[in-house]
Amino acid sequence: MSTIDLDALRKARAEYPGKITEILANRKRRELLRGDGKLFIVAADHPARGALGVGKDDMAMADRNVLLERLALALSRPGVDGVLGTPDIIEDLALLGLLDDKIVVGSMNRGGLKGASFEMDDRYTAYDVEGIVEAGLDFAKNLVRINLKDPGSVDTLEATALAVSEAVDAQLPIMLEPFMSEWVDGKIVNDLSPDAVILSIAIASGLGNSSAYSWLKLPVVPEMERVMASTTLPTLLLGGDPNGDAEETFASWEAALALPGVRGLVVGRSLLYPADGDVASAIDTAAALVHGS
């Protein structure tokens, strides 16, 4: 693991908070797509939704020093194009000098806390489009969980439509992560059947005044050919919580990455906290799948 100076980071936050704005304003930026036109983004927006667990460890992501060290290592590896996070994560990484020449994605709606009675209420509590633009970030991301039995889902859809319209006005790419979801035994469960994913795509794709800047962030499910045939929007694949055999997971990603319209991966926990503990190897394997060996 790389070593980060957490004391210096804490000192800067306490004594020089304006430094964050300065660093973000002056960071070296890059084109969204370059070279092979593919993207590999490391995701780290889970904690702000109260989702600290990885596998069977419910507090795996609780230690911020460990998380930042793993993110620093991931961002140092060839083929990693950027990072997705809430303001606290993004600003820690900025203060650590890790965002130059990276695509930085701001996570927007973290209000549906994991395990809460209001978990389906995915209201916008982190970045908004104006904040993302002011911070000089490159991409926006939101979660669009749709529960057909919950009238509150229409509030999420309306707020997301407004965010998409604002992103279009700002010419800011925005990544929509849609799911058909429902309550099962007191927990929110996402329907990962091909038909449900296709339905979620149809709903999310029509949000806002224009889809010109809309991207999709989709799970890898069976019949991905049929899933990808349902959209023309550029799509990134999500990794989700690690479970099962790592080689099988990588094989499923590889097959999906070959489909038309798929532009890369957005993966967090399964690579930052791999079962064998080898973060560099997990990151390098995924990068090779996206960009080639």
Radius of gyration of the chain (CA): 18
Amino acid at 231: T
Q: Are the CB atoms for 265 and 237 separated by under 8 Å?
A: yes
The length of the chain is 293
Per-residue confidence in pLDDT tens, the chain, 293 aa:
457 899 999 999 999 999 999 999 999 999 999 999 999 999 999 999 999 999 889 999 999 999 999 999 999 999 999 999 999 999 999 999 999 999 999 999 999 999 999 999 999 999 999 999 999 999 999 999 999 999 999 999 999 999 999 999 999 999 999 999 999 999 999 999 999 999 999 999 999 999 999 999 999 999 999 999 999 999 999 986 666 678 899 999 999 999 999 999 999 999 999 999 999 999 999 999 999 86
Q: Tokens representing 115?
A: 């395990």
Q: Which residues lie across from 83 on neighbouring strands? A: 42, 104
Which CATH topology does 6-291 take?
TIM Barrel (3.20.20)
Domain ranges in the chain are: 6-291
Element (H, E) at 103: strand 103-107
Task: Tell how far CA 105 is from the center of its chain.
Answer: 7
pLDDT of res. 243: 66
Q: Tokens representing 216?
A: 């999709």
Strands (E), 136-251: 139-146, 174-184, 187-190, 214-219, 235-238
Task: Tell how far CA 224 is from the center of its chain.
Answer: 20
Q: Are the CB atoms for 81 and 103 separated by under 8 Å?
A: yes
pLDDT of res. 1: 47
